[in-house]
Amino acid sequence: MARILHRTIKVGTVDIFYRETLPRILIPDRPLILLLHGFPSSSHQYRSLMEKLGDDYRMIAPDYPGFGQTHIVPGSEIAFDYSFQNLSQVIEEFIDALGLGSFVLYAFDFGGPIGFRIAARRPELIAGLIIQNANAYEVGLSDAAWHFTMIDGRDDAGIKELGGQLSLDGIKSQYLTGVSDPESIAPDGYMLDQHYLEQPEHRAAMISLLRDYKTNLAEYPIWQDWLRRQRPPAQVLWGRNDPLFIEAGAQAYLADLPDAELHVFDTGHFALEECKDEIAPLIAEFVTRLSPTNT
């Protein structure tokens, strides 16, 4: 089994927790994989993938502020702005603090708007893209997703509706909707998410981010322009039964990234939960091909 280290680094007023694999043999020209997690999860969602690939690939998965084991330094909580823009800046500072250089960005769900903001600002960091149910096109939003982006979130009704996404039933639906075999989905992931969300500071952070989600739509043209201009090597992995980010969003990447690989799976939003054994070899092949000695 791969060796996974659990570390914390201070970035400004944030103590960022992250997981890191140590490969048995470090191949100097093989890019590391930066794994950016989704809502309402944490780096824990990548534990099985890191165990599967970590012997051969260096992988780093941080928890964002407001998620998992990452914490704001006591006394700084009130001043911290939980927005996608700010989270992207914190993760960019995290990248620089570790001196990561270029990497393969694995962007899932919330990892899309966080990672794409970084990529648009710092294109030199991106050696490749793995996009998994991370939307960047209006055509990829389901009717339910469009409704969600229109929630005001400042009145009682809006706050109540957003809060429903943070209930155990709401979290379970993120994991179970659209899967082929519900019994294959271990409850550990959504129960751990619920544990974190029961912490008042995490719940408040999540409400702020859900309220801020609509700002990502205005960024779509910027990210699409970056994709067209930079044409990074890309692999698109998608659970076709995602109730929010529909398959059309996966297909849309091919207009801007015509050389990208596209793999669609008969599962839901958290595709790795059900299809890890199919997805992991695809990731390994893609990242290996990016090494100069393999091109």
Q: In sequence order, which residues have a C-beta less than 8 Å from that of residue 160 and are 6 or more positions away?
A: none
The three-class DSSP label of residue 268 is: coil
Block residue for tokens 């012997």: 55
Is the pLDDT at 28 greater than 90, yes or no? no
Please provide the average confidence, as pLDDT, over all residues in the chain. Answer: 94
Tell me what the mean pLDDT of segment 67-75 comes to.
Answer: 91
Cis upstream peptide for 232 (omega within 30°): no
| CATH number of the domain that residue 91 is part of | 3.40.50.1820
- Number of helices followed by number of strands (H, E) in the chain: 11, 9
| Res 293: pLDDT | 62
Backbone angles phi, psi at 193, to 5 degrees: -55, -45
Question: What separation in angstroms does the CA of 59 have from each of 19, 48, 123, 209, 295?
Answer: 8, 12, 20, 26, 21
Would residue 269 show up in a list of annotated catalytic residues for this protein?
Answer: yes
The CA distance from 86 to 92, in Å, is: 10
Is the pLDDT at 294 greater than 60, yes or no? no
Give yes or no for a contact between 162 and 153, defined as CB atoms under 8 angstroms apart.
yes
The CA distance from 84 to 102, in Å, is: 22
Question: What separation in angstroms does the CA of 95 have from each of 33, 39, 89, 101?
Answer: 12, 21, 10, 8
Q: Show the domain range for 162.
A: 3-294
Tell me what the mean pLDDT of segment 64-73 comes to.
Answer: 95
| Res 295: pLDDT | 43
Nearest CA to 105 out of 22, 227, 220, 9 is that of: 227
| Res 77: pLDDT | 66
Tell me what the mean pLDDT of segment 113-140 comes to.
Answer: 98
The CA distance from 232 to 195, in Å, is: 37
Percentage of residues in the chain with pLDDT exceeding 90?
A: 84
The CA distance from 242 to 269, in Å, is: 5
What's the total number of domains in the chain?
Answer: 1
Residue 26's pLDDT band, with cuts at 50, 70 and 90, is confident
- The catalytically annotated residue of 37, 71, 202, 269 is 269
The three-class DSSP label of residue 5 is: strand
Give yes or no for a contact between 267 and 241, defined as CB atoms under 8 angstroms apart.
yes
Tell me what the mean pLDDT of segment 173-194 comes to.
Answer: 96
Tell me what the mean pLDDT of segment 187-211 comes to.
Answer: 93
Give yes or no for a contact between 228 and 256, defined as CB atoms under 8 angstroms apart.
yes
Is the pLDDT at 79 greater than 80, yes or no? no
Running DSSP on this structure, what letter comes out for residue 106?
A: E
Q: In sequence order, which residues have a C-beta less than 8 Å from that of residue 80 and are 6 or more positions away?
A: 13, 14, 65, 72, 86
